[in-house]
Amino acid sequence: MRQPSTTTAAVWLQVSANLSRRGRKQRRTRRFLKMVDSQRPLTVSRSNFGIRSPQFRARRVRVLVAALWSASSWAAVAATHDIVIRNAQIFDGSGHPPFAGDVAIDGDRISYVGPRANLHARTEIDAKGQAVAPGFINMLAHPEESLLADGRALSDLRQGVTLEVMGEDSMGPLTPTMKARMRERQADIHYDVNWTTLGEYLQQLEARGIAPNVASFVGAGTVRVNVLGERDVQPTPAELIQMRTLVRQAMEEGALGVTTALIYSPNGYAKTPELMALASESARCGGIYIAHMRSEGTTLLEAAQETIDIARASGAPAEIYHLKAAGQANWGKLGALISMVDAARASGTRITADMYTYTAGATGLDAAMPPWVQDGGLEAWISHLKDPAVRARVIADMRDPHPKWENLYGSAGAGGTLLLAFKNPALKPLTGKTLAEVARVRGVSPEDAAIDLVIEDGTRVGVAYFLMSEDNVRRQTALPWISFGSDEAAPAPEGVFLKANPHPRAYGNFARLLAKYVRDEHALGLPEAIRKLSAQPALNLSLADRGMLKAGYFADIVIFDPKTIQDHATYAQPHQLATGVSYVLVNGRIALKDGMATGAPTGRFVRGRAWSGLTGGGCRAKSSDWTWSG
């Protein structure tokens, strides 16, 4: 139990004396009792306080002892705060039922969370009828380019997201060649590549002024390209040491761990031992391994086992990106996958996962073609496709019912492949059509149409693949180790963003969870959903002082109406903002007010625990030198 200071005790002894002399002080005490009646009482001798009035004794003892026990709470009540949120239904992120209360904020931190109190502030927010919760964490976000065009991250801000966690690949470390390719491959959003390391990129975002907090993993594929280029080659021992060094440097700049996306080239050229080596380097820097697995379909269970094996070899936890059983033939594998994860966790290897709340994924036509044709990178891939013999071989592979690679086109079919984004203005009218429709109009096979579109556009072409079972999606939302990520950019329904269609998850992933799966279908309760959106991902990422409404924690807060929160984005009309979120605070500053973005640069670069700028920061000798949550 915390003990009151001598000064505080003296003050309250004097208060006791005054109260015993004047009856009018009794009225003040009654008012104060309403504020502190819920505080924990202690057994105290009345002689300690010189209490003489029998009829008033019990109340005064309760008041005085509560104040002595919690002097800091009294200070929070008496002070003038920066912001107070009143009349709230508080969901603190723990998963426990909500309680009625108030929240006070001073600077970038929460200073009070508790029962309704007589708080005073320079800015007061009335949250009557609304939920107040920790800001939501987007566990797989892709605003790497969208934040360079618009720092508001409006599509996510309107859903209560306060932290964007980037992964699969990373924006550094870069070589001069990688920088040149990044410039050449830009589509609708254009920007200068004036950074080299991942830390420099994230620092630049913060300096530009952004609404959300940002964090990132370092890409295993990124460091692979940095050292080996985009070819299908294996590293020598010396090259693997270079790659490990780049991972360590990124971790000490603030990365959260190491990430990869193994269905894409050149990431998929990495063998398991290479990934184990990079994950082990990340682990001794306090970071986890997080992956888009090598398969989410035909070899789903084998891919999950590889992920578990990498986690065990590294000595650190692992997370599976956008958990799914893709393709109707694989829908029945979800139960076995869940059992594998549960068994790994029971054995002491912490495996978690995240997901989006839709039955279609979104990526590119590179996921429709075999890895061998993409050897050498985008430009080499396009060049290879122009060779008639190569083209014929690619088409044969695309039609193979039992491919040895992850063929999303084969699982979705031409009718389930929706075209979303083109670079070539002449092709933009095809946005929103299926590959089957385009093939029919052009009078060619869907495979030929896909190849032609990649050549004509000079890009991988953005597409959505309809792959998942709605029953599986609903089941996954309730898994205790699931959190949520949009796997999308953070656009706005204006300007450059209207030149292409995103997946609707960009505008609706989190609101859809709360509206469809919590409120309408009762797949899980609201306290648990909020835990999965806040405290759980913060714990998985080992983020200090984030993810809960708790005194001393950073004031990342969302205020929303559980009865009205709603996603509106569709595949046909994806640029529609969610509704129902009234306020978003990031680091104690208001980023969204009455549903409108303030434009304030509230966001920061949230660094991992090996950041060299921390006291005692830096990597350690081994993963067991860190504490990992269960």
Q: For the chain, which residues make up each domain, given as ranges? A: 6-68, 76-134, 136-359+469-623, 363-466
Helix axes 446-457, 388-399, angle to 10 degrees: 130
Residue 349 token pair: 């290897």
The three-point CA angle 3-6-10 to 5° equals 120
Average pLDDT of the segment spanning 184-197? 98
Whole-angstrom distance, CA of residue 502 vs CA of residue 155: 11
What is residue 22's DSSP assignment?
Answer: -
Is-contact 517 523, C-beta < 8 A? yes
Q: Which uninterrupted H or E stretch holds 127? A: none
pLDDT tens digits, one per residue of 428-487 = 999 999 999 999 999 999 999 999 999 999 999 999 999 999 999 999 999 999 999 999
Whole-angstrom distance, CA of residue 555 vs CA of residue 583: 12
Average pLDDT of the segment spanning 57-72? 43
At 77 the pLDDT is: 60
pLDDT band, very low/low/confident/very high, at 13 (cuts 50, 70, 90): very low
Whole-angstrom distance, CA of residue 258 vs CA of residue 375: 23
Q: What are the φ and ψ backbone dihedral angles of 90, each rounded to 5 degrees?
A: -90, 120
Sheet arrangement for strand 161-166 = 136-141, 161-166, 213-216
pLDDT tens digits, one per residue of 294-331 = 999 999 999 999 999 999 999 999 999 999 999 999 99
Compute the Cα dihedral for 346, 352, 356, 362 and give only its sign.
negative
Q: Which of 18-22, 53-57, 187-191 has the highest average model confidence (pLDDT)?
A: 187-191
Compute the Cα dihedral for 207, 210, 213, 216 and give only its sign.
negative
CB burial string 15-52: b at 16+ within 10 A, e below? bbeebbeeeebeeebeebeebbeebeeeeeeeeebebe
pLDDT at 5 > cutoff 80: no
Residue 447 token pair: 């495979």
Residue 368 token pair: 């429709």
pLDDT at 387 > cutoff 90: yes
Alpha helices in 513-587 (DSSP H): 526-533, 535-540
Average pLDDT of the segment spanning 29-58? 39
Report helix, strand and coil shares of the chain as percent, to nearest 5. 45, 20, 40
The three-point CA angle 177-178-181 to 5° equals 90
Is-contact 422 500, C-beta < 8 A? yes
- Mean pLDDT over each residue of the chain, to the nearest integer: 91
Look at 43 and 255; give whichever has higher pLDDT. Answer: 255
pLDDT at 32 > cutoff 70: no
Whole-angstrom distance, CA of residue 412 vs CA of residue 328: 9
At 10 the pLDDT is: 33
Residue 86 token pair: 């009143």
pLDDT at 409 > cutoff 60: yes
Stretch among 50-54, 154-158, 337-341 having the lowest mean pLDDT: 50-54
Average pLDDT of the segment spanning 380-403? 98
pLDDT band, very low/low/confident/very high, at 18 (cuts 50, 70, 90): very low
Average pLDDT of the segment spanning 189-205? 98
At 188 the pLDDT is: 98
Residue 614 token pair: 């921390």
pLDDT band, very low/low/confident/very high, at 79 (cuts 50, 70, 90): confident
Whole-angstrom distance, CA of residue 227 vs CA of residue 240: 9
Is-contact 586 212, C-beta < 8 A? yes
Average pLDDT of the segment spanning 15-31? 41
Amino acid residing at 544: A
Residue 115 token pair: 């029962």
User: Within 13 Å of residue 346, how many CA atoms lie on the same side as its CB?
Assistant: 6
Tokens 């200070």 -> residue: 75
Average pLDDT of the segment spanning 30-36? 41
Residue 471 token pair: 């029953």
Average pLDDT of the segment spanning 362-379? 98
Domain 76-134 listed as CATH 2.30.40.10: yes
**Angstrom distances, CA of residue 431 to CA of 224, 495, 502, 506, 509:** 33, 17, 10, 17, 21
At 140 the pLDDT is: 98
pTM: 0.89
DSSP string, 493-521: SSGGGGGSPPPTHHHHHHHHIIIIIIIIT
At 3 the pLDDT is: 35
pLDDT tens digits, one per residue of 485-514 = 999 999 999 999 999 999 999 999 999 999
Number of other residues whose CB lies within 10 A of the CB of residue 375 = 17
Helix axes 334-346, 300-314, angle to 10 degrees: 10
**Angstrom distances, CA of residue 220 to CA of 172, 494, 611:** 11, 34, 19
Is-contact 127 88, C-beta < 8 A? yes
Among 590, 589, 569, 588, which Cα is nearest to 578's?
569
At 78 the pLDDT is: 63
Residue 356 token pair: 């989006």
The percentage of the chain sitting over the pLDDT mark of 70, rounded to a whole number, equals 88
CB burial string 112-135: b at 16+ within 10 A, e below? bbbbebebebeeebebeebbbbbb
Stretch among 17-21, 583-587, 620-624 having the lowest mean pLDDT: 17-21
At 630 the pLDDT is: 74
Whole-angstrom distance, CA of residue 579 vs CA of residue 135: 16
C-alpha of 25 from chain center: 52
Whole-angstrom distance, CA of residue 249 vs CA of residue 591: 32
Whole-angstrom distance, CA of residue 560 vs CA of residue 585: 12
The three-point CA angle 276-282-288 to 5° equals 85
Domain 136-359+469-623 listed as CATH 3.30.70.100: no
